[in-house]
Amino acid sequence: MTIWIQSLSWALMCALGQGLVVYAALWLILKLLPDIAANVKYHLGLMALIILPVWFGITWWLEYHELQQWAVQQSQPVVWMTGRGDVLITIIHLVSPWLAVCYLAGLLVMLLRFSGGMWQLLSFRKFGVIPADKQVDNLLYVLKDKLYITFAVHLLVSTRAQVPMVVGFLKPVILMPATAMTQLSIAELEAIILHELAHVKRHDYLVNILQTIAETILFFNPFVWMISRIVRREREYSCDDLVLQHIPEPLSYATALRALATSAAPALAVAASGPSYQLFHRIKRIMEMKKHPFNYSKLVATLFVVVAITCTVIFVSPSFAGNTTEKLEETATTTKTVQPPLADDFAEEKQLIWRLSDAKLVDEINGFVVEKRKDELYINGKKQADDIARKYLSDIKKDVIRVQVMSFTERLKMHPEAGIMQNIMPMSFSSPCIQYKPKEGC
């Protein structure tokens, strides 16, 4: 098994624990400080969301580097040992290829989903749009000045969009549904345009794309989706707060949001309606908006708890390569490679094959024949160099050994009753298609 697959699998498993820790810290902050501004909660959630893919990448890189360094430094291949706690390592070794394959397949699906979402946004911007009338353009310029937005923002009327939304980062465009232009009053339209300008001012379109990338990379992690949901909720609350600072009364804004309740926006767009499941709570929050005094003592206590959790996680973060290396170093004084004890009659045969397999000298997929004739080692009929023979025949007491493993396709044909795992990794799962005696055939 290649080092990158092994390190990736370990990073995937660690990512679940990392997600739990980060989400727990965020949840604790929000519970201890319920009255902090929505914008503060939004940035806390965003920080938590940034930490997870970065932590995942660092874990993968460190694990890969450590395993690679170990493989270079050691003259013997890393082997799997038994004992208390080592069962987990053996299980990881067995499931790593499947875990990596499942992750890569899921990642491909998520990337296709992301690409489709981006194409949908581009099509909304290019097709079915017409310029807004002069009155709406003038309103847009006035509202831009209110929010101190100095760069260009355009507003187009869309026949395809169902809700108002912002598309684009360098050249942001507000798309207003044609139906909204006729159904909303001037006051309601002003509130909705203010909301979209708030997204523009905060660069939420770009942040939402980056947020979706994090969800794509860590699609398997439920804590990423839970944190992401918090981020999206607080993003809309933050824009609502900004709108309420610039309109005389909240009723028109709440009414406008209610009018958009039955429409849905594309996943990658930042829309005035936001997620449909949050709309009722947003309207209720707008109508009941109250200001709460900020408690600085709670802030200090919360920061202390979060720092303590962070330090603890950093110092106790597990390392598969580190654990394996420590175990091997502990046994280095007795033997360079420690194999699991084998009680059957072919223990030495299996021990030899495991050594050669870890050193990539034999391939279970293509099949092989390994022979030992006293101090000589043959692989597929070819005599190996004396130093290689001495290296891999140490502690092998039998004078004559012959092991034949048929190729994967031959194993499928000759032993269809064997399980798929027995056929793919026969040495690990005792496939019936392994011959340990010096005779031809399987």
List CB contacts of 5: < 8 A, sequence separation 6 or more: 96, 97, 100
The fold of 125-286 is: Zincin-like (3.30.2010)
Q: Could you tell me the pTM of the whole model? A: 0.67
pLDDT of residue 333: 41
Q: Is 380 left (phi over 0), alpha (psi -120 to 50) or beta?
A: left
Q: What are phi and psi of 2, to 5 degrees?
A: -70, 155
Sheet containing 400-405: give its strands across.
382-383, 376-379, 368-373, 400-405, 434-435
Q: Render each residue's pLDDT in the chain as its tens digit; 442 residues.
A: 577 888 888 899 899 999 999 999 999 999 988 888 899 999 999 999 999 999 999 999 988 888 777 666 554 444 443 443 455 566 666 777 788 889 999 999 999 999 998 898 888 888 888 998 899 999 999 999 999 998 899 999 998 888 888 998 888 999 998 888 888 888 889 999 999 999 999 999 999 999 999 999 999 999 999 999 999 999 999 999 999 888 888 888 888 888 776 555 665 666 655 555 567 778 888 877 655 445 556 556 666 666 666 565 555 555 555 554 554 444 444 434 444 444 457 778 888 888 888 788 888 777 888 898 888 999 998 999 988 888 888 888 888 888 888 887 777 777 666 655 555 666 655 666 677 765 544 4
| CB-based burial label for 240 (10 Å; 0-12, 13-18, 19+) | buried
CB atoms within 10 A of CB 399: 9
pLDDT at res. 434: 76
pLDDT at 416: 65
Residues in the chain: 442
pLDDT of residue 66: 81
DSSP 82-110: -STTHHHHHHHHHHHHHHHHHHHHHHHHH
CA atoms of 108 and 22, how far apart (whole Å): 26
Q: What is the pLDDT at residue 46?
A: 94
Note the pLDDT of residue 306: 62
Dihedral over Cα of 43, 49, 53, 58: its sign: positive
Domain(s) of CATH 3.30.2010.10: residues in the chain: 125-286
E strands, 121-215, in order = 129-131, 154-158, 165-167, 173-177
The pLDDT assigned to 58 comes to: 93
